[in-house]
């Protein structure tokens, strides 16, 4: 069978089943945003790795070298953030075609280093090799967390509110502008920038993980719909989300209005926004919203509820939404 018939999740499930030997206590393997390894005195180490492949994740002529360096690290820091952890160190492996200019490599490291410095993360190693096809970037980030604060995809509870830390859909909007340079809007620059340089919610993730009543957490890397599906699968619960409540930036709203885009679909299905999605008990929500705003001068957005049913239900301003989204899935190109 071709892997395009399997899709990314089934393929990962098959890999996972091969390595089904019980893990040592405190160890978490395949299935969350990072692996967890017990460390010393109540702490655990977090490990995550992500690959960016030219032609699949980026087009080399549509992203600058510094932005690509920045983004390669940002997407990995986001996985550490989603567990509630503090990133500590990074490894970087590069497969580069021979025609790449040394100035490009300098630029790549400028962007990479800028974000590494912001989060005080040291580059401790990696690998460099020639690629006979496109550019391949693999980043591994290690992190640290007090074991009691680890937040998993499997910890959502019926009745919880589902919240996100930022706006959805900006990244896919930015990508639209990149792929269709003939379209312009006064906000295309800002939206492209959000696609190139997503914000990893590292400080916010650590803060959130320490709050009472906060249960599951995950970053929205593959889009909201797939993130909710994953929370539902791992926590064995239902989901109810109102598309009318999804936070959308003023820039996307305005660009969408001018260009006739389906903004709720972009917010629900577009990937690479890297906001954090978490679930929190009803009686903790208000206090959490108030304290988060005080701490970060930014809002958290409740978008729906965890339910007892096994299904995912979307509403559009209170009315059941029966439509379908166009979702990207590696290998099959759909989900």
Binding site for ligand ADP (CB under 6 A): 12, 15, 30-33, 50, 79, 221-222
- The entry of Mg ion, ligand ADP, none near residue 204 (CB within 5 to 8 angstroms by kind) is none
Query: Which span sits near Mg ion by CB under 5 A: 28-36, 56-64, 123-131, 320-328?
Result: 28-36
| Pick 221 or 249: Cβ nearer Mg ion | 221
- Please report how close the Cβ of residue 12 comes to ligand ADP at its closest, in angstroms: 4
Alpha-carbon distance 308 to 236, whole Å? 9
- Please report how close the Cβ of residue 222 comes to ligand ADP at its closest, in angstroms: 6
- Please report how close the Cβ of residue 234 comes to ligand ADP at its closest, in angstroms: 10
- Please report how close the Cβ of residue 263 comes to ligand ADP at its closest, in angstroms: 24
Give residues 150-209 in contact with Mg ion (rule: CB under 5 A).
Answer: none
Query: Which span sits near Mg ion by CB under 5 A: 94-102, 212-220, 254-262, 297-305?
Result: 212-220
Q: Which residues pair with 217 in a beta bridge?
A: 278
Nearest CA to 95 among 132, 68, 130, 58?
130
| Pick 55 or 323: Cβ nearer ligand ADP | 55
| Pick 316 or 329: Cβ nearer ligand ADP | 329
Give residues 35-94 in contact with Mg ion (rule: CB under 5 A).
Answer: 79
- The entry of Mg ion, ligand ADP, none near residue 30 (CB within 5 to 8 angstroms by kind) is ligand ADP
Q: With contact defined as beta carbons under 8 Å apart, do 328 and 1 qualify?
A: no
Nearest CA to 33 among 246, 285, 201?
201
Query: In this structure, what token pair is assigned to residue 104?
Result: 């490009």
**DSSP letter (8 states) at residue 27:** -
Alpha-carbon distance 115 to 66, whole Å? 10
* Residue spans of alpha helices (H) in 94-223: 102-118, 170-179, 188-196, 202-209
Alpha-carbon distance 161 to 292, whole Å? 15
33 binds Mg ion (CB under 5 A): yes
Alpha-carbon distance 179 to 8, whole Å? 24
- Please report how close the Cβ of residue 32 comes to ligand ADP at its closest, in angstroms: 5
- Please report how close the Cβ of residue 34 comes to ligand ADP at its closest, in angstroms: 7
- The entry of Mg ion, ligand ADP, none near residue 37 (CB within 5 to 8 angstroms by kind) is none
Q: With contact defined as beta carbons under 8 Å apart, do 140 and 55 qualify?
A: no
| Pick 50 or 254: Cβ nearer ligand ADP | 50
Q: What is the Cβ-side half-sphere exposure of residue 101, based on CA atoms within 13 angstroms?
A: 6
Residues 204, 219, 240, 273: which binds Mg ion (CB under 5 A)? 219
Size of the site for Mg ion (CB under 5 A): 4
Query: In this structure, what token pair is assigned to residue 16?
Result: 């996972």
Burial 245-283 (b: 16+ CB within 10 A, else e): ebbbbebbbebbeebebebbbbbbbbbbbbbbbbbbbee
Residues 165, 171, 206, 221: which binds Mg ion (CB under 5 A)? 221
- Please report how close the Cβ of residue 85 comes to Mg ion at its closest, in angstroms: 12
Which residues contact Mg ion (rule: CB under 5 A)? Answer: 33, 79, 219, 221
């Amino acid at each position: 069978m071709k892997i395009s018939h399997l899709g990314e999740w089934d393929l990962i499930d098959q890999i996972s089943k091969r390595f089904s030997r019980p893990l040592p206590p405190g160890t978490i393997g395949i299935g969350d945003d990072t692996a967890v390894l017990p460390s010393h005195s109540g702490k655990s180490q977090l490990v995550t790795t992500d690959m960016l492949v030219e032609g699949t994740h980026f087009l080399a002529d549509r992203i600058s070298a510094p932005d690509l360096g920045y983004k390669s690290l940002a997407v990995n820091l986001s996985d550490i953030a989603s567990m509630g952890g503090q990133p500590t160190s990074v490894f970087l492996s590069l497969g580069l075609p021979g025609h790449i200019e040394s100035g490009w490599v300098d630029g790549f490291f400028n962007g990479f280093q800028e974000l590494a410095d912001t989060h005080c993360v040291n580059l401790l190693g990696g690998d460099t090799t020639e690629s006979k096809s496109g550019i391949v970037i693999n980043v591994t980030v290690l992190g640290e967390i007090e074991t009691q604060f680890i937040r998993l995809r499997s910890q959502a509870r019926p009745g919880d509110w589902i919240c996100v830390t930022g706006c959805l859909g900006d990244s896919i909007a930015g990508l639209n502008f990149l792929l269709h340079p003939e379209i312009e809007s006064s906000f295309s620059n800002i939206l492209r920038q959000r696609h190139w340089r997503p914000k990893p919610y590292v400080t916010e993730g650590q803060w959130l993980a320490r709050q009472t009543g906060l249960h599951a957490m995950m970053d929205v890397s593959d889009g909201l719909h797939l993130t909710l599906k994953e929370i539902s699968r791992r926590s064995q619960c239902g989901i109810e989300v109102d598309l009318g409540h999804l936070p959308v930036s003023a820039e996307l709203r305005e660009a969408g209005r001018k260009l006739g885009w389906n903004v709720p679909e972009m917010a629900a299905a577009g990937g690479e926004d890297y906001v954090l999605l978490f679930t929190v008990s009803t009686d903790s929500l208000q206090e959490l919203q108030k304290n988060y705003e005080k701490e970060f001068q930014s809002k958290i957005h409740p978008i729906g509820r965890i339910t007892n049913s096994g299904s995912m239900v979307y509403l559009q301003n209170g009315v059941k939404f029966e439509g379908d989204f166009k979702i990207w899935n590696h290998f099959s190109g759909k989900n």
